[in-house]
Amino acid sequence: MKKKILVTGGAGFVGSHLCERLVQDKNNDVYSLDNYFTGSKNNHVDNVTYIEGLTSDIAKLINFNPDMLYHLGEYSRVEQSFDDIEKVWRYNKNGIFAVLEFVSKSGL
């Protein structure tokens, strides 16, 4: 039986490389949740299912229980974050809370 693996931020630099590695194992079904604030569709990896949206909406966007979740999907550009500290705080705070709640409810 295949493992369903969800990577938040799978279209970012680190996330796309993680997806690339995970998809090499044919026993994995790899999914990415990304809002594309800092990630790019140019980083998409073949055989990964991409879902566009905010991590704060993870419970609405992910309609399956992953076997594993890698959370890399919050605003991470330090220099750019100083331009809109309120937005960074809101997305990161709400996003990590929603991901933790999702993990708790899904039994991971």
Please report, for the domain that includes residue 47, its CATH number: 3.40.50.720
> What b/e readout covers 59-73, taking b as 16+ CB neighbours within 10 angstroms?
eeebeeebeebbbbb
User: What are the pLDDT digits (tens) for 54-104?
Assistant: 999 999 999 999 999 999 987 776 777 778 888 888 888 899 999 999 999
pTM of the model: 0.89
For 2, 7, 29, 55, 69, the CA distances from 106, given in Å and listed in that order, are 17, 15, 17, 15, 11
Number of domains in the chain: 1
User: What are the pLDDT digits (tens) for 19-32?
Assistant: 999 999 999 999 99
* Structural domain harbouring 76: 3-106
Start-to-end CA distance of the chain, whole Å, equals: 17
- The side-by-side arrangement of strands in the sheet containing 68-71 is 48-52, 28-34, 3-8, 68-71
